[in-house]
Amino acid sequence: MHLLSLTITEAARALRRGETTSAGLVRAGLDAVRRHDGLLNAVLHLSPTALEEAERLDAEARGGSFRGPLHGIPLIIKDNIDVAGMPTTVGSPLFADAPPAHSDATAVARLRAAGAVLLGKANLDELAAHVSGTTSFFGPTINPWQPERRLSPGGSSSGTAAAVAAGYCCAGLGTDTGGSTRLPAGWCGLCGLRPTHGLIDLTGVYPRAASLDTVGVLARSVRDIALLLHVIVDPPLLYALEQPSPAGKRRIGVFPDLVEAKAGRKTALRYEAAMRRWESLGAACVPVDFPLLDAPAVGEAVNTVRSFEFARDVARDVEKHPRLGRMHPVPLTDYRNGQSIAPETYEAARRYGAGLTQEVEALFTRHALDWLCLPVAFHTAPPVDSPPETFAAGRALVNLFSITGMPTLVVPGWTEGDGLPLGVQLVGPRLSERLLLDAGIAYEDRYGPFPL
Please identify every residue annotated as catalytic.
78, 156, 180
Cα angle value 99/103/109 (rounded, 5°)? 140
Cα 243 to Cα 239: distance, rounded to the nearest angstrom: 9
Cα 136 to Cα 122: distance, rounded to the nearest angstrom: 11
Closest CA to 214 of 236, 189, 191, 181: 181
Cα 48 to Cα 34: distance, rounded to the nearest angstrom: 14
* Gyration radius from the chain CA atoms: 21
- Contacts with 254 (C-beta within 8 Å, 6 or more apart), sequence order: 271, 275, 285, 286, 287, 288, 372, 373, 374
Cα angle value 202/410/130 (rounded, 5°)? 55
Closest CA to 12 of 60, 78, 77, 74: 74
